[in-house]
Amino acid sequence: MKTAHDLVAAAKARVQEIQVADAEQAIRDADVLVDVREADEFAAGHLAGAVHISRGMLEFKFSANPALQARDLNILLYCKTSGRAALAAAALHDMGYLNVRSISGGFDAWAAAGKPVAKPETPSFE
């Protein structure tokens, strides 16, 4: 029986991961930057310009959104530590997307490197 770790390792063998040091350029080059974490994780902080599509809804959202259906989109994914992003990248490859990469180490590596984190502003009611 395979474990989640086995599935992530198999996905990482199939997908291209980029290092945090190269991520800023990859973000500029991407057509879409996707945070595949859960909504509460995204709300706590995310990479500027990222759209939130949780791992569980990824295939459905990409299939339903005409702006995301071109198979030659340059897609960059990330999650907390890179496991969910690797699984998501493998799924998108299986759907026929040609240019899918993920950030090695994910959001945690990005934040640990001192890179900027976007947080939604709390509205003021004053």
Surface-to-core class of residue 102, CB atoms within 10 Å of its CB (0-12 exposed, 13-18 middle, 19+ buried) = buried
Q: Are 8 and 95 in contact (CB under 8 A)?
A: no
Report the alpha-carbon distance of residue 82 to residue 104 in Å, rounded.
6
Single-letter amino acid code for the residue at 80: K
**What residues act catalytically?**
79
